[in-house]
Amino acid sequence: MNWERKGIRLVHLLKHCAKLTESGNYFDADIALYRLSSLASPDGDSLQRVATHFSEALACCQVAKNLRGVPKVLRLVKTLSTPEQQLVKQLFFDFYPFLNIAYTITNRTIIEAMEGETTINVLDLSPSSGAVQWIRLMQGLKERFPNTPCLKITVTAIHEKKEVLEQMGLHLGVEAERLHFHFQFNPVVSSLESLDPETLPIKKGEPLAISCVLQLHSLLATDDDNAKQNMKKVNPSPDSALSPFSPCPSRKMDCFLYGLWKLQPKVMVITEQESNVNGSSLTQRVDRALNFYGALFDCLEASISRTLVWRTLFEKMLLGEEIKNIVACEGVERKERHEKLETWIPRLELAGFRRVPISSNGIWLATRMLQNYVPGYNIRQENKCLFIYWKEIPLFSVSAWKF
């Protein structure tokens, strides 16, 4: 029983520390952190691990509230190099089924939407896992339309780092040649925030598919203070950027989505985290993020040995960094602004998109795929969208849209 008590104590202490930090009670928060440091452990069970990273995040939050230089330097130290980023993204792909399922469903939906087309344009807004997704798409296309001569595929990928795009182009080119496709690769070196969809090298009139996996929420990052001031004038809502009725929930996002809509995509598939950590209240964010990342850590605990060094590395470099971003960063720096699908839907509809059903073939394939993983994962279709669950906790959502 001891570990259970300890675990509950740990959770309460974390939430209490968040409350203290939010209210500015730094001494008490410091004491709580001191106590947390003995209860949490990066090598322990999943709760201890997730608590370690949350404690670190709360500590960073506390520092960030009072000092300027220290948090910047700390973040500098923790910045991942490009190969490291690629590594952890690869680990994310390996450890969890989420990306696999997302890609499968996206690809299937695209394939079905592109039935009968001879030219296919793909816009990839989140090419972090390398070329895997599009290789599979090409293979799927070949399988599905074996008789279509000279299928032309153009892939436009947006990423901040040139070398990532180069590698991707390389792999895709090789595969396309193997499958005898006409292939063109358009790398665009840019961040999503500074991207203007109109400037993309996409030919109007040709069928376009857009895919964005776990990346769209970064556009919600705004200077919160200004947004709050604007919102107070109209509607004092407790949660920022959530009510679609407020006049400027996220200008950046709306402009971007509208820009995408103007490209007239035949299909757009969005995969996002199903959790709402975009609030302004720290305690709320910690609370919800705890549930979300607790589940993610549980998945790891259930499937991967505790001693595997990649697991700890992954927890530290990806999950820990996301947690830190959610908890300790504010304003434009806070990129991990996950929101639930129920708030994405009005946003996308506002931009003009209409929902289309997910490929049932894709769902079936994904369900089969899950058998290769530790039991506990579920897929459910609700409201024409797909949700990926871990033990009754919805973690990711996949939705398909069209122009």
Task: Give me the 318-357 binding string for other proteins, x by CB under 8 A, dash otherwise.
Answer: ----------------------------------------
Q: Which two tokens stand for residue 386?
A: 């797909």
Rg (CA), the chain: 22
Site for other proteins in 153-182 (CB under 8 A): none
Determine how many CB atoms are found less than 10 A away from the CB of residue 384: 12
**What is the Cα–Cα distance from 18 to 29, expressed in whole angstroms?**
8
**Of 45, 224, 254, 349, which lies in the binding site for other proteins, with binding defined by CB under 8 A?**
45
**What is the Cα–Cα distance from 344 to 78, expressed in whole angstroms?**
31
**Of 73, 80, 170, 308, which lies in the binding site for other proteins, with binding defined by CB under 8 A?**
308
Cα four-point dihedral sign 297, 84, 371, 210: positive
Site membership for other proteins, residue 6 (CB under 8 A): yes
Site membership for other proteins, residue 31 (CB under 8 A): yes
Site membership for other proteins, residue 32 (CB under 8 A): yes
For residue 213, give the amino acid letter. V
Site membership for other proteins, residue 94 (CB under 8 A): yes
Cα four-point dihedral sign 73, 77, 82, 84: negative
Site membership for other proteins, residue 27 (CB under 8 A): yes
Closest approach, Cβ 363 to other proteins, in A, equals 9
Among residues 63 and 248, whose Cβ is nearest to other proteins? 63
User: Candidates 28-36, 155-163, 196-204, 334-342 — which segment interacts with other proteins by CB under 8 A?
Assistant: 28-36
Site for other proteins in 222-241 (CB under 8 A): none
Among residues 49 and 266, whose Cβ is nearest to other proteins? 49
Site membership for other proteins, residue 290 (CB under 8 A): yes
**What is the Cα–Cα distance from 366 to 383, expressed in whole angstroms?**
18
**Of 305, 331, 354, 381, which lies in the binding site for other proteins, with binding defined by CB under 8 A?**
305
Beta strand 393-402 with 119-124 is unpaired
Q: Cα–Cα distances in Å, from 219 out to 156, 164, 254, 302? A: 19, 21, 9, 33
Secondary structure of the chain: what % helix, strand, coil (to 5)? 55, 15, 30
Site membership for other proteins, residue 82 (CB under 8 A): no
Site membership for other proteins, residue 135 (CB under 8 A): yes
**Of 148, 226, 291, 381, which lies in the binding site for other proteins, with binding defined by CB under 8 A?**
291
Residue 172 in contact with residue 85, Cβ under 8 Å?
A: no
Site membership for other proteins, residue 144 (CB under 8 A): no
Site membership for other proteins, residue 297 (CB under 8 A): yes
**What is the Cα–Cα distance from 369 to 142, expressed in whole angstroms?**
20
**Of 145, 303, 330, 355, which lies in the binding site for other proteins, with binding defined by CB under 8 A?**
303
